Structure 1
Amino acid sequence: MKKNSPSKSGLVLRESDSGISSSERFFSEETSEKVSETLNSDGIKRRKFLGMGLMGLAGLSLPLGTKAEGKTAIENFVKESVSMAESVTSQSDSFEDKMKMLQKAWDKKDYRLARALTNSLRISELQAQAEHEDLGTPLLGANQFDTVASLPAAWKNWAKGWMYYKVVNLEEKAGIKRKAEPVEILLSFLATQTGSLAREIRVVEIKDGVLTEVISQVFSEIRRGAEKICKLLFLADNQGKEKRSYLIFYGNPDAELPNYQSDLKVTGEGYGLDIENEYFTAYLSKQTGQLARLILKREHGLEVYSGGQGHGEPAGIDWAHDYVTEDNFQKVRISLWEECPDFEVVRGPICTIIRRWGLPYSPVHPIFSAARMNMDIEYRFYAGLPYFHKIGHMSALKTFDMVYVRDDEWVITGQSFTDQMWMNSDGKVQFGVVPEESADKLWGVGFFNKDTRDSFIGLFLDHHTDGFQEPSHGGSPSFYYKWHGQFWQRMPVPKGVKTIPEGAVFHQKNAYVTLPFDTKDGPAKIEGLRKELMNPLSSASSELNNTAQAKESPGRLARLAEAQDSPIPKELIWKALRDVKDPQFYKSDISIVDLGLVYDVTVRGGLVKVLIAMPHRGRPLGTYFAYGSNVVHPTTSKNILTAVYEVPGVKKVIMEQTWYPGWSSNMLTDEGRKKLGI
């Protein structure tokens, strides 16, 4: 694969020969040529947020091939952005204006108005994040791709329906055999080449010339100028010391959301989820999102929990993060949240991610509401793996004094376990009480039962700081903690240090393991697992070499109706859905397709299923678009059922609604952005 400045034929498909829907029509040939010239593989630059103003379309990768071209393109980009900004500001108000209004309300002691404006500021921040958040530098840039048409015939026929691919190499350097290891990479694509990365991306491994699809998960899909960017998770095998190649296929307007199956089952809404795989079931607090309890899925199903009344808040086994203020006045902690101040959730067949952040609460919140240290905590639960990750960042917003800070505290009621274990700085498992000379040099702690072989072990993978001294590596396990049972805690600030400087950040990444454990085989398993986690597969962009080995592969990549073989052309269905308008925008004449509310279209014989989202939970009734009708538009508007039933061959229409992934302005088509003036 090479860095491509594609020709017209590489970028543009005509509706007559491609089957591409009018909802996902590519740019014109002239536009495509201009876009391809502007792109490079250096990733996306963050733009300054000016409310809903100037840089509303930030993210176009510049510079161009020449300084003159670059200057002209930037000038045109700014002119277009200013024009859009003028339209948007008439419908909204900038972050800066809201801040001024908030200060006036505060000065006037109009606290109810101040609270209303504070909420409006948060909404502006959510929109700014959707439009401007920088996910980092992609492993492969938007113009690093090749065409499926260029593949050997055996592979090209197997991947019929897809138009483009990228190549990723994964290398195992530690000499450890891997089985279904999760790999996460960041990728960028030309927006002209894809309608929906979530629908279209397929990951395929090349092994001995044969192509095999592997389970994958797309998330954090965003639009930045002429590029679309996403995070991609997939599962990879390796025998150790191997380099394996993977093809990332995309660009198929007929593709449907892949329905991958795994042992990862998630129930619940928001952050209060129940998460199950073959090793355990985790229950997150419906109030705070903290891990409340675990059931280990062995023959007797040991429940790891923390009973009692806690400190007035709901009890759980994970009590961090928190800190004690100066002079031991009070303990402020995230387990005191009445609800998560803010959170994001990713759900999929490979991994469920729950990220929560905010300032910890006082026991008498809101009398004391210090804004000193922001806590940002993420759980990651995986399919088919006996561990989950916890990733934390504690950031000091100002210089302040404290007694101690904790980024790890686990409390387990009862005597579920008979022995304690720990890991020294050499990565070796030890048993019994931690000697004093090793107390600040720990890289793992936990408990096991020598009779049942149940265990719960924390492996410390990464503890480091920014703007502060080397953190302490303590956290000795204890059997008897105030009538509870098993307990450990970690305090990253060294003893004797009382002041945290502004800008200091404490980083943590741990894995919590529930493998069967005994003193004979257990240490080697745990030591090997930590070594594996500390040495993940290495990913790199690549070109496709040695295609001469291409062989016929079993089956095909496409599912039913994904290879331009739909019994009812999907192009016609997408075109029909463009007649379904949103009457809440009286003059925009904007369809649910251009709003990006249509997530998927599937066709099975004469049955058509349309999966839609709604913009936000203030409009929870998607059936409004399924059954409603309106006459406020300049053009005719229909409901989903009426529009799709008019397509020849359609016998049954089913509309389903989803809240995942949540809708944002990234879902808008180019036409949708134009009609909304953003």
Structure 2
Amino acid sequence: MSETTYWERTDTFEEKLRLLEAAWRKKDFRLARSLTHSLRSTAIQAQMEEASPGIPDLPVALIEPVEALPEPWRKWARGWTYCRSLHLDDTVGLDRPPEPVELLVAVPLEQASSLAREIRIARVEEGLLREIPCQVHGEVRRGTERLCRVLFLAGGRNHERQSFLLFHGNPDAELPAYPTDLETQGEGFALDIENDHYKASLSRQMGQLERMTIKREHGLELFAGGEGHGEPPGIDWAHDYAASGHFQKLRTTLWETCPDYEVVRGPVATLVRRWGFPHSPVHPVFSPSRLHVDVEYRFYAGLPWFHKSGTMTAVRDFEAPALRDDEWVFSGQSFTEILWMGPDGKLKTGPVDPALREQLWAVGFANSQSHDSFAALFLEHAADGMPELKHTGSPTLFYRWHGHVWSRYPLPVKQVSAGAVLRQKNAYVALDFTEEKGPRQLEELRHLLVNPLSLSVGDFPHHVVAKAPPSQLARPGEAGDSPIPKQALWEALRDCHDEQLYTAGVSVVDLGLVYDLRVRGGTVHLLMAMPHRGRPRLGYFTFGSGGNSQPVQQRLLKVPGVEKVLVEQTWEPGWNSNRLTGEGRRKLGMPD
């Protein structure tokens, strides 16, 4: 059978499922295992192409031409073509330290080739525009639009309105390199994440938060000792549930590796999202698919706290005599005080009031002498498909085999119905905690985080008298001033094909393998990716081998003015089909 269309060159989910069922009936278990891996690949590709990113905060209807801006701002933004206005308002009457703001942005396909390279954000400050660091992630193509998430930090004074402009549409733009205190080292989910306040180390086995160093004075290291339950111990022990009759406990900490995960690394935040079904102590003898756990850490530049959010979703009816969605363990007896907060939003020390043990909205520990502290601020805790959750988690200064511990058991019932969802969003903070300032700091922080800056869009700040900024938005080479025209370089790269797609004739540009292009004098710098980890050698494209007749370096050196070509490889972010151009999709036969 000849193959001329996309769906003739691959297989559908339904076809693979039919093959899997046939292999299962024949007891061809090795084939069945191979097909489950192939089904996962189909699910990954379908997610990339079809998953809804949501409703944009900044839709395309709000786009304005940069030419419509006041002349001083227009000159400052030279090189960019389009912009939108947004505003952030404080609604609680408190001065606000920086907090993360995330927007879903939509752009017409024809107005940008790479949102990661092109998007910039500027704050309006007394008539001047000042660029602020931002981070673009989750870029996808849907129909006639590109969408992405834009993350940045914003603070402000009480009852203040702040105005911002978001720019896009500059083919000469380069990936911005914003200097921040956030450093992330490691591969995959096995990461060390560090800022000026702490260093967090994730388990090399399953990605759970294993250790944390508070970067003040003596550098207290938070850890959990012992041998756990046979798995590497960590300070974050959630998420798990006891099976019917307390026969066993199924835990995410028993994953031999993350069943699935996504990582986003950048100057503003590092995001680590993991999901799957908790494992049995004797996995895979018991491998129930009943409670799906999806959890994400978010670590930020410059902030003494981080987020953990997620869901626990019942895939089918089951009985859970116990379930935990938050548990933290600290060995070493580093703390002397219990911290907790009830529904009144006031932080208290000492044992939890028995009448409020199921109404806790913050818990933690502090040391009255060293002023070290670590606390959880519960921001969201709710469920669908069951009665109101119990907000438990009373801290204990000493619990055998653990040390300091709090553990939240939220279920109001034992019988969990299919479709029920437990949702949570927490912030974990390490502060210099004193009796005089500590309670107020934690109270205000939680109050601000449950009442974030309010977003509004659409109206340009016309009342502001625009002033000429002392600098400009564009770096050298981003405003049509490249010593070698970038358009000539991009056109040359279109001659470099992936010849492993023997008859497609598709270039590295149309495949979206070129993430960045910079020119410094006569030197051209490229940042490129490979399609997947099974092809890790970028040299195939850089200098050629295995039948590659037009290597990147060789082709670019033919462009007038090019004296040297440097090519760097990256896996962050990983390549996917959203990076294909329209021509790339056509040549691969993919549907629009």
Same fold (TM over 0.5): yes
Counterpart in the other structure of 1:23: none
Out of 130, 133, 137, the residue aligned to residue 215 of structure 1 is: 133
- Report which stretch shifted further, 275-284 or 168-177: 168-177
Correspondence list, 1:19-58, <5 A: none
Q: Which letter does structure 1 place at the counterpart of 2:301?
A: A
Aligned equivalents of 1:235, 1:327: Cα separation in 2 = 47
Correspondence list, 1:89-108, <5 A: 89-108=7-26
Identity %, equivalent residues: 52
Matched residue SS, 2:84? strand
Contact conserved, 2:115 with 2:139, CA < 8 A, in 1?
Answer: yes
Shift of 1:143: 3.1
Query: After superposition, what is the alpha-carbon deviation per residue over 1:439-458, rounded to whole angstroms, capped at 9, x for unaligned?
Result: 11111111001110000111
Counterpart in the other structure of 2:497: 581
Correspondence list, 1:273-672, <5 A: 273-494=191-412, 497-546=413-462, 549-628=465-544, 637-672=549-584
Counterpart in the other structure of 2:90: 172
Matched residue SS, 1:246? strand
Q: Which letter does structure 2 place at the counterpart of 1:526?
A: L
Q: Which letter does structure 1 place at the counterpart of 2:518?
A: T
Correspondence list, 1:208-247, <5 A: 208-247=126-165
Q: Which letter does structure 2 place at the counterpart of 1:321?
A: H
Q: Which letter does structure 1 place at the counterpart of 2:31?
A: L
From the superposition, tell whether residues 276 and 315 of structure 1 become closer, same or farther in structure 2 (CA, over 3 Å).
same
Aligned equivalents of 1:600, 1:377: Cα separation in 2 = 31
Matched residue SS, 1:123? helix
Query: After superposition, what is the alpha-carbon deviation per residue over 1:125-145, rounded to whole angstroms, capped at 9, x for unaligned?
Result: 000000001011001212320
Aligned equivalents of 2:249, 2:504: Cα separation in 1 = 53
Matched residue SS, 1:273? strand
From the superposition, tell whether residues 548 and 418 of structure 1 become closer, same or farther in structure 2 (CA, over 3 Å).
closer
From the superposition, tell whether residues 281 and 639 of structure 1 become closer, same or farther in structure 2 (CA, over 3 Å).
same
Aligned equivalents of 2:34, 2:325: Cα separation in 1 = 33
Aligned equivalents of 1:314, 1:599: Cα separation in 2 = 37
From the superposition, tell whether residues 144 and 490 of structure 1 become closer, same or farther in structure 2 (CA, over 3 Å).
same
Counterpart in the other structure of 1:80: none
Matched residue SS, 2:470? coil
Aligned equivalents of 1:221, 1:456: Cα separation in 2 = 35
Q: Which letter does structure 2 place at the counterpart of 1:601?
A: L
Shift of 1:89: 1.4
Q: Which letter does structure 2 place at the counterpart of 1:537?
A: L
Aligned equivalents of 2:97, 2:79: Cα separation in 1 = 30
Matched residue SS, 2:397? coil
User: Which consecutive aligned stretches of 4+ in structure 1 deviate over 3 angstroms post-superposition?
Assistant: 629-632
Aligned equivalents of 2:587, 2:61: Cα separation in 1 = 28
Shift of 1:629: 5.3
- Report which stretch shifted further, 172-181 or 666-675: 172-181
Please list every run of 5 or more consecutive structure 1 residues that lacks an aligned counterpart in the other structure.
1-84
Contact conserved, 1:392 with 1:407, CA < 8 A, in 2?
Answer: no
Counterpart in the other structure of 1:76: none
Aligned equivalents of 1:618, 1:514: Cα separation in 2 = 41
Aligned equivalents of 2:189, 2:585: Cα separation in 1 = 31
Aligned equivalents of 1:214, 1:583: Cα separation in 2 = 41
Contact conserved, 1:209 with 1:549, CA < 8 A, in 2?
Answer: yes
Matched residue SS, 2:61? coil
Aligned equivalents of 2:94, 2:588: Cα separation in 1 = 53
Correspondence list, 1:103-182, <5 A: 103-182=21-100
Query: After superposition, what is the alpha-carbon deviation per residue over 1:351-403, rounded to whole angstroms, capped at 9, x for unaligned?
Result: 11100000000000000001110011110100011111110200001111121
Shift of 1:436: 1.3
Aligned equivalents of 1:121, 1:649: Cα separation in 2 = 49
Aligned equivalents of 1:646, 1:278: Cα separation in 2 = 46
Correspondence list, 1:233-272, <5 A: 233-272=151-190
Please list every run of 5 or more consecutive structure 2 residues that lacks an aligned counterpart in the other structure.
none
From the superposition, tell whether residues 454 and 210 of structure 1 become closer, same or farther in structure 2 (CA, over 3 Å).
same
Aligned equivalents of 1:303, 1:243: Cα separation in 2 = 40
Contact conserved, 1:143 with 1:190, CA < 8 A, in 2?
Answer: no
Q: Which letter does structure 1 place at the counterpart of 2:530?
A: M
Query: After superposition, what is the alpha-carbon deviation per residue over 1:151-208, rounded to whole angstroms, capped at 9, x for unaligned?
Result: 1111111100000001111111111212332110111000100010000000011122
Aligned equivalents of 2:91, 2:61: Cα separation in 1 = 29
Aligned equivalents of 1:499, 1:214: Cα separation in 2 = 49
Q: Which letter does structure 1 place at the counterpart of 2:114?
A: S
Matched residue SS, 2:444? helix
Q: Which letter does structure 2 place at the counterpart of 1:188?
A: A
Aligned equivalents of 1:433, 1:154: Cα separation in 2 = 60
TM-score normalized with structure 1 length = 0.86
Aligned-CA RMSD value: 1.2
Shift of 1:150: 1.5
Shift of 1:249: 0.5
Matched residue SS, 2:60? coil
Aligned equivalents of 1:181, 1:498: Cα separation in 2 = 38
Matched residue SS, 1:411? strand
Contact conserved, 2:305 with 2:427, CA < 8 A, in 1?
Answer: yes
Contact conserved, 1:160 with 1:558, CA < 8 A, in 2?
Answer: yes
Alignment partner of 1:192 is 2:110: yes
Contact conserved, 2:98 with 2:153, CA < 8 A, in 1?
Answer: yes
Aligned equivalents of 1:362, 1:629: Cα separation in 2 = 47
Aligned equivalents of 1:86, 1:228: Cα separation in 2 = 28
Q: Which letter does structure 2 place at the counterpart of 1:543?
A: D
Greater per-residue strand proportion: 2
TM-score normalized with structure 2 length = 0.98
Counterpart in the other structure of 1:87: 5
Q: Which letter does structure 1 place at the counterpart of 2:226?
A: G
Contact conserved, 2:163 with 2:461, CA < 8 A, in 1?
Answer: no
Aligned equivalents of 2:71, 2:215: Cα separation in 1 = 47
Shift of 1:414: 1.6
Aligned equivalents of 2:107, 2:202: Cα separation in 1 = 36
Counterpart in the other structure of 1:78: none
Shift of 1:630: 6.9
Contact conserved, 2:77 with 2:472, CA < 8 A, in 1?
Answer: yes
Matched residue SS, 1:642? helix
